[in-house]
A and B are shown apart, each in its own frame.
Chain A
């Protein structure tokens, strides 16, 4: 299974295997990781699964779609490498992905 490394705001790293076809949000929530909430359950409708994609992986995760970009534009700490992790679906090409979490989700 491809692996994602989730890094909490305080630096704590969580390497987690996430099944192909599941979202990066789901991988965090199903494993009870703190720092990713996913209130809407993956509908791209709440922006509480906000992550910063490691620069090295940006080309592979791609850019936010239109709805995602408008949700992200309301996130307090959005950066150019911000994504909603419910919109990143695991593929073999994403094995080794590194994402960092913001200070808080809201």
Chain B
């Protein structure tokens, strides 16, 4: 099942002169051959300046857990502003950059984030638990037996899109529009998929905005309700948003609310199949789901990086980062840093401190939905174990062409009849 370690990639990673090393190419993430490049950087140049990327221009790579944490907590020096380039290594054309609260600095960020934060308050999560369990059960009961199917399509996408539809109070029959918009938002044009130009992406965004404007108009004239659209329509910091800002925040909530958990759902099943001893441990002791869930999220690292832009000169890891420089925090590397995590290369479902990982980010931009994501994974695995002795991965996964979204598009599986 394990893809053979690419000897070519490893030898390239360890022999390329450091000043020519570029760990960011999406192809590497699609082929799953980026690992040795980060191993090299963590060892030889933990804060590294790359000038050779054909896609992204010059940028700093921050690759160790400790240095990433230092950037995370220093939002005064490291900006997330969309106008400066935002949160991803790819600089979108200036006029197409979307304002959204993850790509804002305080105080605007704080005010907008607080509008949606109550959706994941403990009392609200408790209310969602029952619905998630019922849906997970229904999805699992409908799966074919004894034949090969794509786990991503039938389970990962379906469960997370249903959840997202609930959070938005979005018409249920149209829910697959949400995953379509999500995929369009994160698609890399040169990958040759449906979104092969920024024009096409903008056309899809216009559809998305028009649909949601309809929902906004219903909600803004009704009493406030605990769904994300109503919260935005009535929130003091969000009710006067421009259409572009509304669209930006929608895309943030759509991508953040389904794509990430989708890939952890897919990754988890893959990792258990690659590590049969861990799968056996889990079957013998379902209580391990509690620590397995954060371990899946660490091991998958659904977003490979977040980007910042330096607002001032900063010293980091012995390097001088200059005001204006692009700084990429490679979560996917920090999550495999042996200085912070014991045996980080191994998928171990009973780790002592499994939540000490970077996948949700840290500091003021830490994932709003982190506990909801964990809850979805926990319930899904409880329901899987209650039904199936084993779900077999029967072929290699297909991965996303992106160095931002670290995802899986196809995972062929079979449930023994």
Report which A residues bind B (CB closer than 8 A): 37, 39-41, 43-48, 67, 70-71, 73-74, 76-77, 102-106
Contacts and interface: CB of A to CB of B under 8 A. Distances in A.
A70 B106 contact: yes
Give the secondary structure class of B's interface.
helix
B73 A43 contact: yes
B17 to A, nearest CB: 34
Contacts of A43: 69, 73, 362
B371 interface: yes
Contacts, number: 57
B73 A67 contact: yes
Contacts of A39: 355-356, 360
Interface in B313-356: 353, 355-356
9 smallest CB-CB distances across A and B, nearest first, come from A45-B362, A104-B122, A76-B121, A106-B371, A39-B355, A103-B122, A45-B363, A45-B73, A40-B362
A71 to B, nearest CB: 7
Interface residues of B, number: 25
Contacts of A73: 110, 114
B73 A44 contact: yes
Given A40-B356, A70-B110, A45 B117 contact: no
A105 B371 CA distance: 9
Given A45-B69, A74-B113, A76-B121, 5 more contacts: A40-B362, A47-B366, A74-B114, A76-B122, A106-B370
Contacts of B72: 45
Contacts of B122: 76-77, 102-104, 106
Contacts of A71: 363-364
B117 A76 contact: yes
Contact of B364 (A37, A74, A77, A105): A74
